[in-house]
Structure 1
Amino acid sequence: MKKILIPFDFSALSVSALRFALDLAEAAQGEVTALHVVNMTPAYLESLDPNGYPIGSASILSELGRQATLDFARVRGELKTQLEPGFRVEQGLLHQIVIKTVHETQADLIVMGTNGSSGITELMLGSNTEKVVRMAPIPVISIHKGQKINQIRNIIFPTTIDLDQHRFIWQIRALQIFFKAQLHLLYVKTPDCKETDKALTAKLEQLAAYYDLKDFTVHVTHAASEEKGVLRFASRIPGSMVAMATHGYTGLTHLMLGSIAENVINHTHEPVWTCRLSEHI
């Protein structure tokens, strides 16, 4: 958590995410860069006063960037923090620009605010947070308004019984140490699972021993789906953060298979830490 990137659109939610990111960076002796992305769609260009700025992306971006920089200076002055966040303005689609900026700044964590989504919007488009979570090459923390790092006392880790996820669990352990939190290993038993709760509990304990986990509990919960099991369990654990892998599905594959992590982000009230499994197994 030495270099944190936060997409920033001046909403109350993004200000909350910025405060969260600054608190993280102060605790980790790191730095924060706020990224404001301008998406100049044709509809936006048509709405401009024809007697105003010349219709040219460079001149419009320059003016929007100047105004955004002034607005961010005001926000920064209201934060009352010792750490000075950096600020960038870019043009394009948010999730694409975020990935580009990750590589340019060598960021190791993204913090994003999310309102979640539901219904047809979730199915067809998804939130910007979903897209970043699905594509980001580094971990992402998705938060809701008003959440603070000192409230996080528990890390909920929904997991399969897999002894070949060393790099991913190394990150889970680092997360637990950073927050000084208790780790809760959770297996969601769906109707198609035939193993007994006792056998699953024993396997979770073996997994914890194999990876040398400390200060942990193990839980087997029954639910119609993995998502519902995680959401129900998280709702019962105050001061929690959910830590999950995402497979990074895109396009038709995503529509057909979805991602449990993305669904949890959309429907939980807890902060969610995710990273792409393909990058961390």
Structure 2
Amino acid sequence: MKKILVPTDFSEYSEYALEVAAQMAKKHESGIVLLHMIGMSESVLANSEIAEEQEAKYYLKLAKKKLKDITKKEYLREIPVEVIIQNYKDFKEVNQVAKEQNCDLVVMGSHGTSGLSDLFVGSNTEKVIRTSEIPVLVIKHQHLDFKVNKMVFASDLENESIPAFKKASALAQLLSASIEIVYINDAGANFMGVDDVRKRVADFKRELDQSVEVHFYNYHTVEGGLFNYCLMNNVDLLVIPTHGRKGFAHFLVGSLAENVSNHAKLPVMTIKL
């Protein structure tokens, strides 16, 4: 892992993400790219050029000071940190910065407390997830000692998720973590009998051509099933494949949010299909 991109809006959740990124950077001798998007408001952009320039200079100066203070944090000592300030309005540009800087991972904070739905609908986190071509690790609370011993890859057992699993498997190896696959057999229109699920799992494992445990778990919602499975099996990181509005993420839209504190704290990583 060469570089980790951390978008920051100077919130406590952004700092949680930066602390985790710093721990990972020290362990893997990586650098950190700290990105802040000023995001000038439409009202500012509608002002005269002189007023706009003065406003932009003020926010730029303020952002530079805050970023300088952040880079002096004790937990960033001896880590190469590069600071980038942009005035992007479109969050897909986070992906562009990641590519330009050859980053391997995006780590960002989220204040979401009601499960996975808030990651995929309307939030800034969702905007990054939807467009990022590299894995995005979402941190929801402070981790003074971030360790990943066990990862779970959520799958719909379709072959298109196999490349994403292989990326997750490589990351698990890098983190010295175990990884397994789980399929949530929800109570909706897609519910299958035990024999059908077992056949689907067997077919998927054959196509995967890799030795890995594949489990299925019955629950009334996909989202609730994922969180309960992770909670019952002491999972440290949940990995979800997605490609924008399609793929696995769309199963979560509209599902019942499980407002359970332990669930909300679980780190989630998304990998684009």
In the alignment, residue 56 of structure 2 is paired with which amino acid? L
**2:223 pairs with 1:235:** no
**2:164 pairs with 1:168:** yes
In 2, Cα distance between equivalents of 1:172 and 1:77 = 32
In 1, Cα distance between equivalents of 2:4 and 2:25 = 7
In 2, Cα distance between equivalents of 1:265 and 1:179 = 28
In 2, Cα distance between equivalents of 1:62 and 1:243 = 40
Q: Which moved more, 1:13-22 or 1:199-208?
A: 199-208
**2:72 pairs with 1:77:** yes
Contact in 2 for aligned 1:91/1:97 (Cα 8 Å): no
2:104 to 86, 94, 108: 108
Q: Secondary structure at the match of 1:55?
A: helix
Q: Which moved more, 1:125-134 or 1:200-209?
A: 200-209
| C-alpha distance after superposition, 1:37-65 (max 9, x if no partner) | 1111134579x9x9xx94124x4333322
In 2, Cα distance between equivalents of 1:124 and 1:274 = 10
Normalised TM-score (structure 1): 0.79
In 1, Cα distance between equivalents of 2:152 and 2:102 = 28
**2:129 pairs with 1:129:** no
Q: Flag the 1:276–1:148 CA change in 2: closer, same or farther, 3 A.
A: farther
**2:15 pairs with 1:15:** yes
Q: Flag the 1:208–1:153 CA change in 2: closer, same or farther, 3 A.
A: farther
In the alignment, residue 210 of structure 2 is paired with which amino acid? D
In 1, Cα distance between equivalents of 2:270 and 2:86 = 25
1:154 maps to which residue? 150
Q: Secondary structure at the match of 2:64?
A: helix
In the alignment, residue 72 of structure 1 is paired with which amino acid? L
In 1, Cα distance between equivalents of 2:130 and 2:153 = 18
**2:84 pairs with 1:92:** no
1:271 to 263, 267, 271: 267
RMSD: 3.7
- 1:228 Cα shift? 1.9
2:221 maps to which residue? 225
1:195 maps to which residue? 193
Normalised TM-score (structure 2): 0.81
In 1, Cα distance between equivalents of 2:119 and 2:24 = 32
Contact in 1 for aligned 2:154/2:239 (Cα 8 Å): yes
Q: Flag the 1:248–1:148 CA change in 2: closer, same or farther, 3 A.
A: farther
| C-alpha distance after superposition, 1:61-113 (max 9, x if no partner) | 33322322222222222233320311111112261331332232232211110
1:26 maps to which residue? 26
Contact in 1 for aligned 2:161/2:241 (Cα 8 Å): no
Q: Secondary structure at the match of 1:207?
A: helix
Matched positions, count: 264
1:260 maps to which residue? 252
Q: Percent identity?
A: 23
| C-alpha distance after superposition, 1:198-223 (max 9, x if no partner) | 9528835971894323xx54422111
Q: Secondary structure at the match of 1:83?
A: coil
In 1, Cα distance between equivalents of 2:251 and 2:43 = 32
Q: Secondary structure at the match of 2:103?
A: coil
Q: Flag the 1:99–1:272 CA change in 2: closer, same or farther, 3 A.
A: same
| C-alpha distance after superposition, 1:132-157 (max 9, x if no partner) | 10111111111112135643211011
In 1, Cα distance between equivalents of 2:164 and 2:118 = 27
In 2, Cα distance between equivalents of 1:153 and 1:265 = 24
- 1:225 Cα shift? 2.4
- 1:190 Cα shift? 1.9
Point out where structure 2 has 5 or more consecutive residues left out of the alignment: none
1:207 maps to which residue? 205
